[in-house]
Structure 1
Amino acid sequence: MRTFRTRTTVLAATTAALALALTACGGADDAGTKDKKAAASVSQVTPSTGATESGTGTTGGTGATETGTGTGTTGGNGTSGGDTSGAATSAAQTGAKKKNDGSTPACTANDVKISAVKQDGVPTTHITLTATNVSGRSCTLLQYPLIAFGDIQTAKDVPSVAKSKPGTPVVLSAGAPAYAAVRINNGGVDEENRAVTSFNVNLFAKDGPAEGSKVVKAPAGGIAVDDAAARTGYWTHELRNGADEF
């Protein structure tokens, strides 16, 4: 009986050990299964995360939207710049209008430097006067030069030629020139010409002849002047064909 109990005891212990081993194996299998499921779950999450990151890549779309916004802003600034340019152009036009509406003061004898040169042709029948604004500010050169070929107190001013009158007042900015053609004779041998080496030029003010005059040196060699034939054109920004042919 003792032997049987011993065997029975041993058998029971062996069976218990085997059961424990099987339980452990089962636990291991369960754990393995859980690990596999977890791995599968992770595998599934990873693509999902990838998709989510791809979705986050939509932020790139947001970046594109921001780029578009930036471009829009630049365009807005560009438009603003255009408006500013337009305003500046408008201001410049307004300034030009003010200059031409008679608001610019008249040039005085002290505001301009006047010189004379012979025009082409033999004999010399015309000279060109150039008046340059040396005042450092804008001024209006009114009408035509008041020329006296002789004593300023007694000589008669040279008459003007109406067809040479410009359509708008001649406004000179600082340093700018204006011109006037002057006929001094008709080129005939029978004319009563006299030699002139210098002469006087006066300017107009808004209410008539200005105070003071300029003594202008005649071109080299002097000029032959016939008082009866002498005529002057109006001041212009440039000599004009036709209007200054007299």
Structure 2
Amino acid sequence: MNTRRHRSALLAVTGTALVLSLTACQSGGDTASSATPEATVAATVAATEVTAQPAGEKGTGTSGATGSTDSARSRGSKDSAGSTGSSGTTGERASASPPLCTAGNVTISAATQDGPPYTHIVLTAKNTSSHACRLTGFPHIQFLESHKQDVPAVAKSKPATPVVLTAGAPAYALVKLSDGGIDEDAEPVTAFSVMLEGDPTVIAVTAPGSEGIAVDPAKALTGYWTPELREGADDF
């Protein structure tokens, strides 16, 4: 359809040129008169060529330029998004939780919690490293060689969030040894073993007191690690 229009426009221009040429010959060779039709023909041809150009081609050219610009903008947006993504990743790494506390960066000590009969002790875990670490769960305690099971934990003492120890900071766990009764099957303990959550290393802990402590394995219980001993939750 566009090619036929273009050809019709050229034929019209050619016809116009022939008519003007004949008119110039008939005028008797008037130079001023013949110059004017030639200029008119040139202007007419130029105008006709512009008019005859298909509208679709103009639109395509404009669309192509816009498309290139949009593509460049799109690439720029993607590059910007990529930079933002990298920044977000860095932020996530920076805000990641500290590593678990291990036997290599924590020391554990024991002290009596009340007077005779001594039924409870308090374990203190202190971060001796130069960086923060995360102390989760409860101490895995074994008091006696003859009783290999870990001391059961009291669920109500579990804190809402894991304990994070900054350098030099302590955490505590209350441990019940017995009910303090005369007829209990308590045995003397001068040292016992403790393991931290996620670390298989056995930590040897010296029992408090010159004669150690009396432990009834059937009554022993332990609380979870907490930043401080709390009323109620650690009352067992």
Shorter-chain-normalised TM-score: which range? 0.5 to 0.7
Q: Which has the larger radius of gyration?
A: 1
Q: Which amino acid aligns with 1:215?
A: A
1:237 and 2:227 aligned: yes
- Tell me which residue corresponds to 1:213: 202
Post-superposition shift, 1:111?
Answer: 1.2
TM-score between the two structures when normalised by the length of structure 2: 0.58
- The residue number in structure 2 matching 1:179 is 172
**What pairs with 1:156-175 in structure 2 (closer than 5 Å)?**
156-175=149-168
Structure 2: how far apart are the matches of 1:105 and 1:186?
Answer: 37
Write out the 4+ residue segments of structure 1 that deviate beyond 4 Å after TM superposition.
Answer: none
Q: Secondary structure at the match of 1:224?
A: strand
* CA distance in 2: counterparts of 1:178 and 1:146, whole angstroms: 15
1:33-182 correspondence to structure 2 within 5 Å: 98=95, 103-151=97-145, 155-182=148-175
Q: 2:217 aligns with which of 218, 224, 227?
A: 227
Cα separation, 1, equivalents of 2:145 and 2:100: 25
TM-score for both structures, normalised by structure 1? 0.56
> 2:150 is aligned with what amino acid?
D
SS at structure 2 position matched to 1:163: helix
Tell me the CA shift for residue 109 of structure 1.
1.1
Q: Distance in 2 between matches of 1:211 and 1:116?
A: 20
Tell me how far apart the structure 1 counterparts of residues 95 and 140 of structure 2 sit (CA, whole Å): 26
Structure 2 alignment gaps of length 5 or more? 1-90
Name the CA distance, whole Å, in 2 between partners of 1:151 and 1:187: 22
Residues 191 and 171 of structure 1, relative CA distance in 2, 3 Å threshold: same
**Secondary structure of 1:191 counterpart:** coil
Q: Distance in 2 between matches of 1:216 and 1:157?
A: 15
CA distance in 2, matches of 1:202, 1:128: 15
